[in-house]
Chains A and B, each alone.
Chain A
Amino acid sequence: AQSVAQPEDQVNVAEGNPLTVKCTYSVSGNPYLFWYVQYPNRGLQFLLKYITGDNLVKGSYGFEAEFNKSQTSFHLKKPSALVSDSALYFCAASYKLSFGAGTTVTVRA
């Protein structure tokens, strides 16, 4: 079974609207969780990670993620999306270095 799941292949939002990219995990213990972003024809870039402590993690480019242990989720959020946020987003867990399948985000002007 996949350790990290991203239930949405695509997310479409209008510029200025809130953006949420969903991620759930199914690993035991207390894994470290990560978000990465991939722009076209580029390698992945690290956005943020959750280790322990505060459930709201702030990262690069105005992104944040909320860790919810009871729901085993680690959703990525941005209060006001930009057209330049259009990219492929990956959630990952330190357990077996598992990556989700990715979510393509399109922000329309």
Chain B
Amino acid sequence: DAGITQSPRHKVTETGTPVTLRCHQTENHRYMYWYRQDPGHGLRLIHYSYGVKDTDKGEVSDGYSVSRSKTEDFLLTLESATSSQTSVYFCAISESGTDYEQYFGPGTRLTVT
């Protein structure tokens, strides 16, 4: 398995609180991605990064921000969590570009009450 960890693995938080999810990789891959998985929607891209401090928006970026200060870490922040952001969040990495296969972390289950 690719060396990808996500923390926390489970989190319950209240509406309006800020939340940060962390993705850490040991593969030195350039690209990193954040997805959310919801029943009936598959995976939807939130944000991705193509290098340190280089990020771009995905399909469902509203309400989320990201940061990448080191190659190995990619943070996803919910500035003010809402119930609609209850989901399972997956981090993924790819060696070089979106044309390459991605390797996924184990996921973070977030519940916003």
Contact = CB atoms under 8 A, between A and B. Distances in A.
A101 B43 CA distance: 7
Contact of A97 (B4, B58, B103): B58
B42 A100 contact: yes
A92 B33 CA distance: 14
Contacts of B45: 96-97
B42 A43 contact: no
A14 interface: no
Given A96-B59, A99-B44, A101-B41, A43 B105 contact: yes
Interface residues of A, number: 21
A49 B59 contact: no
Interface of B: 4, 33, 35, 40-45, 48, 58-59, 90, 92, 98-99, 101-107
27 contacts: A6-B42, A36-B102, A42-B106, A43-B90, A43-B92, A43-B105, A43-B106, A44-B90, A44-B92, A44-B102, A45-B104, A46-B102, A51-B99, A90-B43, A92-B43, A94-B98, A96-B59, A97-B33, A97-B45, A97-B48, A97-B58, A97-B98, A99-B35, A100-B42, A101-B41, A101-B42, A102-B42
A15 B100 CA distance: 32
Interface in A56-109: 90, 92, 94, 96-97, 99-102
Q: Which 5 A-B pairs have the closest CB atoms?
A: A43-B104, A99-B43, A99-B42, A101-B42, A46-B101
